[in-house]
Structure 1
Amino acid sequence: MAKGRDRLDAAISTSALQGEEVEKLGASSVAEIVRNIPGIRVEASAGVGNNSYTIRGLPLASSGSKYLQFQEDGLPILEFGDFAFLSPDLFLRNDLNLAAVEAIRGGSASTFASNAPGGVINFISQSGEEEGGAIQASAGLDYESYRTDFRYGGRLSDTLRFHVGGFYREGEGPREAGYTAYRGGQIKANITKEFDGGYIRLNGKYLDDHAPTYTQYPLAVSGTNDDPTYETLPNFNLRHDTLLSRNITNVLNRDGDNQLHRDDLRDGMHAVSKAIGLESQIDLGGWTVTERFRYADMSGKLIQNYPVAVGPAGVVASTLGGPRATLRYATGPNAGQAIADPASLNGNGLLAASLLMDFHLNSMANMTNDLRASRVFELGAGKLTVTGGFYKARQTLDTDWLFSSIVSDVNGDGEAALVDVTTATGVPQTQAGVFGYSAILVNAGSRRKYDVDFHTNAPYGSINYHVGKVAIGGSIRSNSGKAEGSVFGSELGGGRVGIAPFDADGNGVITPAEARSSVLPLTTPAPVDFDYNYVSYSAGINYRVAEPLALFARYSRGGRGAADRVLFTPAVSPVCGDLLDNADAYDTVKQAEVGVKYRRDDLSLNLTGFWAQTNERNLQINASGGAGVVAQVERIFRTYRAVGLEFEGSYSYGPFSISAGATWTDASIEGDEFNAAVIGNTPRHQPDLIFEVTPQFETKAFTIGTNIIGTTGSFAQDSNQLRMPSYTLVNGFVQYRLSDQVQLSLTANNLFDVLALTDVTQPAIPATGVVTARALNGRTVAGAIRFSF
């Protein structure tokens, strides 16, 4: 918030990754970039978007990035980072436009931005300061991916510069889907006019990209909860396969207006963003005034195949169709053929009962404006820096949740097929593999429509006084939020109907599957109309012991608005739309940190100790019934605590350099309103240690290096029974420069094809010996050629 100054004179924790370093890593997603920032824990298993993030032991109870805000050129992508099933990285892509990634970690972020008490990660675009450009063609060498990137920038005059760049790609991707799952790209451009005392910049972005979402898939487990052994299944390798398939593409359903609609799973994660922004900075009477504005018209679709129960084919058949139920292929090359021996089906004998989760993102439009002014005053023997500003945002959530329940086999290589279940008396319980045009496998509801706007207003200010070796300062931000609009769904009660027959095939006969159809009660919306206020503050002191050494300490209190996570819960009245308890409107985060920074020549070392305590109101997906296999959504209201140490360092000597980071965390659940049994336990997925190391050797002709990412083991769920194992991923990169204009590169992710789990749905080993889990992609190798000009 204050003017930039030497990091050794600032009582905050910051990091930066330059665009050139990001390019070496060959990162295929934002998540694969961010996991190289110390303190940040990333579950990078969903694909290019919809991954999950947290920082310094703050809970990752659900999905998204609740306490960590993603920004693009200084403004948030989404005002709230954990909309249900929608993460900010859905609308953010990495390409040659990237100049740097800068991060603020810890409590100081509470007053730098609204709804970001844990940290801020800012993706900064190139702006034409360097003349020239590049075009790059890349391809997967052991998987199908073809991509072209370009950028060009420079000066149009002494005071006018520009930059334009983007990418386009196509291919099946790193996992077998059986079709072209990746297709699309983006283009970004900006133009900057410089003048005495400042500049003004106009920027724009158009993103239209399809990518698959990788969810939880079946995995074999044996041994004990404390010492389990995880193995991939016959004909289904969790590292390389997915239940997406060329045989499961089009399924009938109802849309957000209760009309006939056809879901196409090949649409996958479809993100569209049309954004325009204005940035300016000017010196006025000794004050530096900065204005940032952006309007982003964001929309799209997210459709995924999410297995909620996986088990022996015969057991699943009898559960859905009764004793002696029979099975028959509904789609694929064997459509119509009976499955005579379910126990040997695909060599694993499994069926998956899954939800087709189809989210229509009608509008996620976001308007943000940040106006601030800063000035440095000479005061006594030191300098006083004063900053003040006002932030305003409007975030739209206009989405439809359209679920179907399906049955499929468990088969890799993009060959999974839908399966029909018929009772012993010949009554079909499925229709072309659809068990119900609803989320009936989990509940009769979960068909929802949101039409809500979230408004945020936040005046803020900071002061910092630097005299001699001491810098002391504080900041404050007053956050006012308002939610207004309507929601639709039978879960809201009040006589709202949730199940109604649906003649999907139009033959005039209602089948059992068509009878299990959910409907949106469009004539009985429930209002949303609540507001809230909270104050964030932060104070710190920095002592410059010597030129290369500094000590600092900071205490902060921040908050995070609950946004959509309280809708469709008892927290909001379905009659008046107001909160029944104002405490449900936001969660409070308290943090303290002390650290030491050392920097001399080519050596930089930072060590920070941290403490955090937070409230958490959220919804969490896990498995019901102890060691059961059926997924459920659980409402949680908890208090968490975390203490830890965070290390960041870098060293270079001649052509050799190394950067590294590590975070040790001791976290626990301190209180739980609904489940006292988890009090004192370690939060799920929280390892004791995460680390990243990147050594490299660089000459004029070539660069060679590795990027090592690792984590110790953790618990699958908050009950602290079943453990997930530790993993270490080794990624490699090589760049060879044929000339100043031509470069060849080779990147390999997960070089040793490690099974790296980020999520296991079940709390304990089930009797079937099969869990559903998320894993990082297996080994992928890509090559590229770049021409610079």
Structure 2
Amino acid sequence: MRKAYLRTFASAATLGLALAAPAMAQDESAPAEEEAGMLDEIVVTASGRDQTKIESSISVTSVSAQMIQDFQPSSEAEVFKLLPGIQVPGTSGPGGNSNIAVRGLPVATGGAPFVQLQEDGLPVVLFGDIQFGNNDYFTKFDPTVANVEAVRGGSATTFASQAPGAVINYISNYGREEGGYVELKKGIDYNETQLNFRYGGSLTDSMNFHVGGFFKKGRGPLDAGYNTSESLQVKANLTKEFDDGKGYFRLLFKYADTQEPNYTGAPALARISGGKVTSVGPWPGFDGRKDTNYSKYNQSFLIYNRDGNLERVDMDGITTKQKSIGGQFHYEFSDNFTVDNNFRWSDISGGFASPFLGVATRASVLGSTVNGRTVAAIRYASGPNAGQLYTGQYVDNNVNVKTNIRDLGSLVNDLTLAGKFDTGFAELTARVGYFYMDQDIAMDWHVNKSLRELSGNSPSQLDLYDSATLTGVANKITQEGISGYNNNWGSCCARDYDLSYTNTAPYMQLVLDNDDFNLDGSVRFERVKAAGYTIGGGSEFNINSNGVLIPTMTANGAREILDYSRSYTSWTVGGLWKVSPDLSLFGRTSKGGRFNSDRQTVSGKFNADGSLCTRAQATALACTDGVTPSVDFVTQHEIGVKNRGSIGGGRYSVEFTLLKGDFKRSDFEPTTTGICPGGGCVIDNSFKTKGAEFFATLNFGDFNFIANATYTKAKQKFTSTRNGTQVAGSANFGRALGIPDLSYSLTGSYDFADIATLGVTAVGQSGTFDGTLEYPGKTVFNTNLKVRPMENLELGLNVYNLFNTYDARGNGVGVFQTGTPAGITGTPVIGQTFTGSLRFSF
């Protein structure tokens, strides 16, 4: 199987290089059309904003809003499947919480540690892997987005903080062209309705505006029996062009109130032989393509809150509340000097409430000791079978978790001054900038020990009883299926914290550019100041929950004070040879750092005065070295080619990059995972990767084709410790976990005489490895049909997962049933769904 994928990738690369050959013989004065991969577009993300893509010695790709809409991604992160270099399962659902890797830089404990998501050039949250606050919670694709641009490596290292892997920038429509639309989208075979809208244009000769957003409500493709989606987002901007044509001032506004589910997995049947998983399919009664462990019988649950009371909270997935206002200023003082300033203030809060999935046998629960008593019976706690004995073979024994995101607000500003000078043989551009961002992180966690039936049809919570309850209900052990409040992951995770991180970064760049080449180098001097406190859980105590004593933890345990700072330097150097107007070759090397923020807390890495424990102190005081892993560094080397031209009466573009990288990373993992049995591990990782990125476009009149592929050989070695004892690890490099060797997307569309457009997208990847088993790769096909029966009116039909493929994308979390077939868990791609749309443009 792997050889077949390699042959496919090699063929694609060979085609790209073959396409490049004709351009060598072209006349240098031949025009370069924009549709050829949009290589004439100015790069606006993590760059100096004055070079086109074909003349930039960085790996940068844009995808249009229309392409994303036609793809109909099932999650925010699945948008990134359309971008080379970004490796993400994309199965976590519309709420977010995805693991976003880049260029073979794996995700050790969750989130997007090396990838920054931006809106109009600024991060929405500073760190991509905030615990229960990943960056894909807060950035949602909507009708106001004109295109999504991604820079991998290179200048992402020095023009952005905390982004040595990549910057992905959602660029707004600024109303330069008048027009808009209203669109109604409706699930045909599922319950969901969404209203999209946007409009923009001129207010005066020198002022433009744009406003848009969406309203969404419904149960979604995975029907829980109640509305799990209920979201509103509106964004607007107003641009004033200066009369002299030398600049502009822009105001940007955003309001969002979102509620979307986070899919946490499903059981599946599979065959396992020789360490390979094959024939993955749905579990009887729980088909992860259309079922979920969200349930109408578990729409709310009790937690023990930070005020010391039992509180009923909604099982409402990932929720966000956002208000932001920003300003952009650009002015050219002369032909030589320019100033740019980008500012945003954000007020962000929200929450995370989800039933995690875990599988255990009913037999393992019966006879076990829970809360000091022996379990003799399991009964339905809710639903039509409430009170009856539960006789299923398996139970779902993972947590009901509620995290209150009290504050993720921020203030960010990025100022850049640029000067251009003619040296006689080349133009020299010098830039200096200063970045400032203050990021608050205040949360409290509530992770309840929970038990429910293993079912995809509104599973009921399950209550436990001791032997005295076979004839009565006097000695119930649990309440509403909960056997513990806040104590599922031990004292680490009944936590409460209020932290702030202030990131300041002066940076500078020099660019030497002429008709034949450009050379550039840039450096960024980061300083991050951490302050605040964290409080872990204390000793257990019992709470009377409607007559049942439930063991409980609260954040009254060990307190950490944070009062430290780290300074580090990131840099990049690159060069590009302009072989012709349609062909360029580039090379680049970079080293960038990312600050390890809240994932360092509650792990024994801090001294009593708030400073980080050093290696010397770790030996003398039995604390854990916090200085060494507080900044993770990534080194990358890349060479590439960019080419466009004509072929057979059509236009094409090709971008191909070879890359190599290595990095180290350390995190504290509070939960139980395969590399952290029992939870509470410090995970130290070393990684190295090499591979290639490929992006190509082809246009023949009414036919358009876009292909991207990422090939990596990612390797890792890691050690995990709990209470100073190694519990897992390897002294040698082995295959990296969760990273496919090959991932790709292919998109084709054909326009039938401006009356109808038919499009097909294929998204797939090769197999992945979880440390023990190799999971198969699959390809999922999506189609879209747009019909325009009259001017300004468009009818649409999107089919996601056309062939209803069961594609778990390798994100399984272990085997719970041996034999043939075996039982495994994972989060598959949503199954075949039909969505209709009606759009009126004006």
Does 2:210 match 1:163? yes
Given that 2:193 and 2:217 are in contact with CA atoms closer than 8 Å, whether structure 1 keeps it comes out as yes
Question: How far off is 1:761 after superposition?
Answer: 5.1
1:367 to 411, 426, 435: 411
2:666 to 601, 611, 617: 617
Instruction: Write the distance in 1 (CA, Å) between the matches of 2:160 and 2:640.
Output: 22
Given that 1:362 and 1:398 are in contact with CA atoms closer than 8 Å, whether structure 2 keeps it comes out as yes
What secondary structure does 1:112 align onto?
coil
Aligned length: 760
Deviations 1:427-454 (A, max 9, x none): 42212211111333x4354111120001
Report the CA distance shift for 1:587/1:729 in structure 2 as closer, same or farther (over 3 A).
same
What secondary structure does 1:307 align onto?
coil
For normalisation by structure 2, the TM-score amounts to: 0.87
Given that 1:579 and 1:585 are in contact with CA atoms closer than 8 Å, whether structure 2 keeps it comes out as no
Does 2:574 match 1:517? no
Question: How far off is 1:472 after superposition?
Answer: 0.8
Matching residue of 1:240: 290
Does 2:833 match 1:780? yes
Matching residue of 2:64: 18
Report the CA distance shift for 1:727/1:249 in structure 2 as closer, same or farther (over 3 A).
same
Does 2:257 match 1:204? no
Instruction: Write the distance in 2 (CA, Å) between the matches of 1:623 and 1:757.
Output: 21
Counterpart of 1:683 in structure 2: which amino acid? A
State the percentage of identical aligned residues: 31
Question: How far off is 1:690 after superposition?
Answer: 0.6
Counterpart of 1:712 in structure 2: which amino acid? S
Matching residue of 1:570: 604
Does 2:433 match 1:395? no
Instruction: Write the distance in 1 (CA, Å) between the matches of 2:685 and 2:756.
Output: 52
Bigger mean CA deviation after superposition, 598-607 or 109-118: 598-607
1:419 to 456, 462, 466: 462
Matching residue of 1:33: 79
Given that 2:578 and 2:585 are in contact with CA atoms closer than 8 Å, whether structure 1 keeps it comes out as yes
Counterpart of 2:187 in structure 1: which amino acid? G
Report the CA distance shift for 1:249/1:6 in structure 2 as closer, same or farther (over 3 A).
closer
Report the CA distance shift for 1:293/1:147 in structure 2 as closer, same or farther (over 3 A).
same
1:701 to 745, 750, 755: 755
Report the CA distance shift for 1:324/1:7 in structure 2 as closer, same or farther (over 3 A).
closer
Given that 1:206 and 1:274 are in contact with CA atoms closer than 8 Å, whether structure 2 keeps it comes out as yes
Given that 2:564 and 2:612 are in contact with CA atoms closer than 8 Å, whether structure 1 keeps it comes out as yes
What secondary structure does 2:366 align onto?
helix
Does 2:473 match 1:428? no
Instruction: Write the distance in 2 (CA, Å) between the matches of 1:356 and 1:132.
Output: 46
Report the CA distance shift for 1:656/1:472 in structure 2 as closer, same or farther (over 3 A).
same
Given that 1:669 and 1:682 are in contact with CA atoms closer than 8 Å, whether structure 2 keeps it comes out as yes
Instruction: Write the distance in 2 (CA, Å) between the matches of 1:763 and 1:622.
Output: 15
Does 2:517 match 1:483? no
Counterpart of 1:782 in structure 2: which amino acid? T
Question: How far off is 1:621 after superposition?
Answer: 7.5
Given that 1:132 and 1:788 are in contact with CA atoms closer than 8 Å, whether structure 2 keeps it comes out as yes
Does 2:629 match 1:584? yes
Given that 2:211 and 2:237 are in contact with CA atoms closer than 8 Å, whether structure 1 keeps it comes out as yes
Matching residue of 2:498: 451
Given that 2:815 and 2:823 are in contact with CA atoms closer than 8 Å, whether structure 1 keeps it comes out as no
Report the CA distance shift for 1:562/1:27 in structure 2 as closer, same or farther (over 3 A).
same
Question: How far off is 1:622 after superposition?
Answer: 7.6
Instruction: Write the distance in 1 (CA, Å) between the matches of 2:674 and 2:416.
Output: 52
Matching residue of 1:532: 566
Matching residue of 1:597: 642
Instruction: Write the distance in 1 (CA, Å) between the matches of 2:545 and 2:562.
Output: 32
Counterpart of 2:823 in structure 1: which amino acid? V
Given that 2:156 and 2:163 are in contact with CA atoms closer than 8 Å, whether structure 1 keeps it comes out as yes
Does 2:91 match 1:45? yes
Question: How far off is 1:220 after superposition?
Answer: 3.1
Given that 1:11 and 1:552 are in contact with CA atoms closer than 8 Å, whether structure 2 keeps it comes out as yes
Instruction: Write the distance in 2 (CA, Å) between the matches of 1:633 and 1:771.
Output: 24
Counterpart of 2:737 in structure 1: which amino acid? R
Matching residue of 1:493: none
Counterpart of 1:500 in structure 2: which amino acid? F
Matching residue of 1:727: 778
What secondary structure does 1:664 align onto?
strand
What secondary structure does 1:327 align onto?
strand
Given that 2:304 and 2:310 are in contact with CA atoms closer than 8 Å, whether structure 1 keeps it comes out as yes
What secondary structure does 2:296 align onto?
coil
Counterpart of 1:423 in structure 2: which amino acid? D
Question: How far off is 1:412 after superposition?
Answer: 1.7
Matching residue of 2:594: 560
Instruction: Write the distance in 2 (CA, Å) between the matches of 1:214 and 1:598.
Output: 41
For normalisation by structure 1, the TM-score amounts to: 0.93
Report the CA distance shift for 1:65/1:225 in structure 2 as closer, same or farther (over 3 A).
farther
Counterpart of 2:642 in structure 1: which amino acid? K
What secondary structure does 2:70 align onto?
helix
Question: How far off is 1:281 after superposition?
Answer: 0.5
What secondary structure does 2:598 align onto?
helix
Deviations 1:33-74 (A, max 9, x none): 211001111121111122221111112212211111100011
Report the CA distance shift for 1:198/1:646 in structure 2 as closer, same or farther (over 3 A).
same
Instruction: Write the distance in 2 (CA, Å) between the matches of 1:35 and 1:476.
Output: 30
RMSD between superposed Cα atoms in Å: 2.0
What secondary structure does 2:344 align onto?
strand
1:297 to 347, 351, 362: 347
Deviations 1:455-496 (A, max 9, x none): 100000101101331211100000000110011113xxxxxx
Report the CA distance shift for 1:678/1:620 in structure 2 as closer, same or farther (over 3 A).
farther
Matching residue of 1:755: 806
Instruction: Write the distance in 1 (CA, Å) between the matches of 2:765 and 2:366.
Output: 39
Counterpart of 1:198 in structure 2: which amino acid? G
Bigger mean CA deviation after superposition, 225-234 or 358-367: 225-234
Counterpart of 1:770 in structure 2: which amino acid? G
Matching residue of 1:9: 55
Matching residue of 2:328: 279
What secondary structure does 1:191 align onto?
strand
Matching residue of 1:404: 448
1:262 to 306, 312, 326: 312
Matched ranges for 1:80-159 at <5 A: 80-159=127-206
Given that 1:303 and 1:357 are in contact with CA atoms closer than 8 Å, whether structure 2 keeps it comes out as yes
Counterpart of 1:593 in structure 2: which amino acid? E
Counterpart of 1:756 in structure 2: which amino acid? D
Instruction: Write the distance in 2 (CA, Å) between the matches of 1:325 and 1:761.
Output: 32
Matched ranges for 1:370-385 at <5 A: 370-385=414-429
Bigger mean CA deviation after superposition, 371-380 or 554-563: 371-380
Question: How far off is 1:599 after superposition?
Answer: 1.3
Deviations 1:393-440 (A, max 9, x none): 011101111111111001223x20011111234342212211111333
Matching residue of 1:494: none
Report the CA distance shift for 1:487/1:577 in structure 2 as closer, same or farther (over 3 A).
farther
Report the CA distance shift for 1:88/1:456 in structure 2 as closer, same or farther (over 3 A).
same
Instruction: Write the distance in 2 (CA, Å) between the matches of 1:554 and 1:6.
Output: 17
What secondary structure does 1:775 align onto?
coil
Instruction: Write the distance in 2 (CA, Å) between the matches of 1:138 and 1:110.
Output: 39
Bigger mean CA deviation after superposition, 647-656 or 540-549: 540-549
Instruction: Write the distance in 2 (CA, Å) between the matches of 1:784 and 1:284.
Output: 47
Report the CA distance shift for 1:225/1:546 in structure 2 as closer, same or farther (over 3 A).
same
Unaligned 5+ runs, structure 1: 491-496
Given that 1:222 and 1:765 are in contact with CA atoms closer than 8 Å, whether structure 2 keeps it comes out as no
Question: How far off is 1:786 after superposition?
Answer: 0.4
Counterpart of 2:682 in structure 1: which amino acid? R
Instruction: Write the distance in 1 (CA, Å) between the matches of 2:276 and 2:763.
Output: 23
Instruction: Write the distance in 1 (CA, Å) between the matches of 2:684 and 2:120.
Output: 34
Bigger mean CA deviation after superposition, 296-305 or 464-473: 464-473
Counterpart of 2:165 in structure 1: which amino acid? G
Question: How far off is 1:633 after superposition?
Answer: 5.2
Counterpart of 1:421 in structure 2: which amino acid? L
Instruction: Write the distance in 2 (CA, Å) between the matches of 1:64 and 1:57.
Output: 15
Unaligned 5+ runs, structure 2: 1-46, 470-474, 615-625, 721-725
Matching residue of 1:462: 509
